[in-house]
Amino acid sequence: MARIGAHFHVEHPLDEAVACGADAAQFFLGDPQGWKAPVIPGGDPAAVKDAFAAAGVDIYIHAPYVINVATSNNRIRIPSRKLLGQHLKAAAAVGAKGLIVHGGHVTAGTDAEAGLENWRKAVERIERPLPLLIENTAGGDGALARTLDAIGKLWEAVDGVAGNGEDANLGFCLDTCHANAAGIDLADAADRIKAITGRIDLVHCNNSRDEFGSGRDRHANIASGTIDPALLLGVVRAAGAPVICETPADGGGLAADVSWLKENLPA
């Protein structure tokens, strides 16, 4: 069975993961909308690593949303590279399986090739002590990881400079809500992504509050969104990767989603 986990917006993600029976916990190392350096919970990365390992819970770290290594705006791109590097090191220190970062975007009127070149430079220059997982995004005309065509161009750009094999430490995170918002048919999304990247390292299994192709990123619990839950199961099965639910926790919804996936996926 795939490892099934969730994203926790709490100070003690391990406690929450154990409480809802999760095999993995994704969390931030600081303010997701801020530029401050990452902060290790409790201050001791070794202690965090050991505690999660003892509980049998895998760690995934999500990079701050403000990071955008694709932009031509120096006041954003340069700090983004620095912050991304800091989070990669911090995530590795706590024993994370991967660091997830959004594909970013170029500003209006800027050719996408400029963003692709900025991504090439980022991959060349930023040390990756653990896998950097690029996540597809829901909307935005200048987004570099929204459509399948855009993902293909981005992957071609970064894969060419990342190196070979496991040492490349570069992978892909497929978000089902984002794909649905971008107009990607989930019936064969995992297979089509694999045809582009050769891999899916993590699935963000999220339903959506909005309709197909909406461009809006509003997550819903698995049983209450506009996406047929059977489609979500199909993505997870086809991806063959660990799963993180980033769904609302209100009323026990997040724990219910983790439980539902465990019940409906084969052992």
Enter the DSSP assignment of 105.
B
Mean pLDDT of 118-147: 95
Whether the per-residue pLDDT at 165 is higher than 70: the answer is no
Given a contact cutoff of 8 angstroms between Cβ atoms, the answer to whether 68 and 47 are in contact is no
Whether the per-residue pLDDT at 200 is higher than 90: the answer is yes
Amino acid at position 216, single letter: R
pLDDT in tens, 204-221: 999 999 999 999 999 999
Q: All domains of the chain, ordered by start, with CATH?
A: 4-264 (3.20.20.150)
- pLDDT, position 267: 54
Nearest to 110 by CA among 82, 145, 61, 73: 73
- pLDDT, position 220: 98
Mean pLDDT of 179-183: 97
Whether the per-residue pLDDT at 113 is higher than 60: the answer is yes
Mean pLDDT of 131-160: 94
Whether the per-residue pLDDT at 163 is higher than 90: the answer is no
Residues 14, 252, 24, 87, CA torsion sign:
negative
- pLDDT, position 42: 87
- pLDDT, position 243: 98
Mean pLDDT of 151-173: 88
Residues 31, 37, 42, 44, CA torsion sign:
positive
- pLDDT, position 166: 67
pLDDT, the chain, mean: 95
The band of 180, judged by pLDDT with boundaries at 50, 70 and 90, is: very high
Whether the per-residue pLDDT at 266 is higher than 90: the answer is no
Enter the DSSP assignment of 222.
T
Whether the per-residue pLDDT at 164 is higher than 70: the answer is no
- pLDDT, position 162: 80
